[in-house]
Structure formats: structure tokens, C-alpha cells
Amino acid sequence: MDRASKTLLTLTENPIVILCLLNGMLIIAGMLLDAISIYYVFLPIFIPLMKHFNWDPMWFGVMMTGNLAIGTLTPRWP
């Protein structure tokens, strides 16, 4: 497990809180970058978290894609 994943786990061990933090990070990142770049940056951080909480990778991928789509469609400030 890398340092970023451990840092997220030091905040809380509650999987619901971690999932809410990840959703917020993905929506904000989706406003700033394209989806492919976000996958390359965030997946190495999120995969150890998925293994730690025994989350299904297919479910997590659908959740991540949905959040990135919401972030991409969110209007940006001028």
C-alpha cells in the first residue's frame, strides 16, 4: 500500500466515509482534467483501498466513471 492510500486510511477506517471522500475527489478532478488522465493518476492510489475494503473492482469502476462523467459535465467558472 502506498503513502497516499495510507494517508486516506489514517483519516478514518469507515468505508462509507472513505467512499464519500473518493467521490468528492473524483468529481473535483473531473472538473479539472479529462477522464483518462484521472484514471492514470488515481487508480494506483485507489486499487490498494479497493483491496483493503474488499470492494468489487467492476462496481468501483462504474462508480468512478459515473463521478468523472458528472465532473466533466459540471460547468466551470470563467
Judged against a pLDDT cut of 90, whether residue 2 lies above it is answered with no
Task: Report pLDDT digits (tens) over 50-71.
Answer: 999 999 999 999 999 999 999 8
Judged against a pLDDT cut of 80, whether residue 78 lies above it is answered with no
Average pLDDT, the chain: 90
Contact in structure between 65 and 27 (CB atoms under 8 Å): no
Contact in structure between 72 and 35 (CB atoms under 8 Å): yes
d(CA 44, CA 4): 9
d(CA 78, CA 72): 15
Contact in structure between 69 and 30 (CB atoms under 8 Å): yes
Q: What residues does each domain of the chain span?
A: 13-72
Report pLDDT for 4: 87
Task: Report pLDDT digits (tens) over 6-49.
Answer: 888 898 889 999 999 999 999 999 988 889 999 999 999 999 99
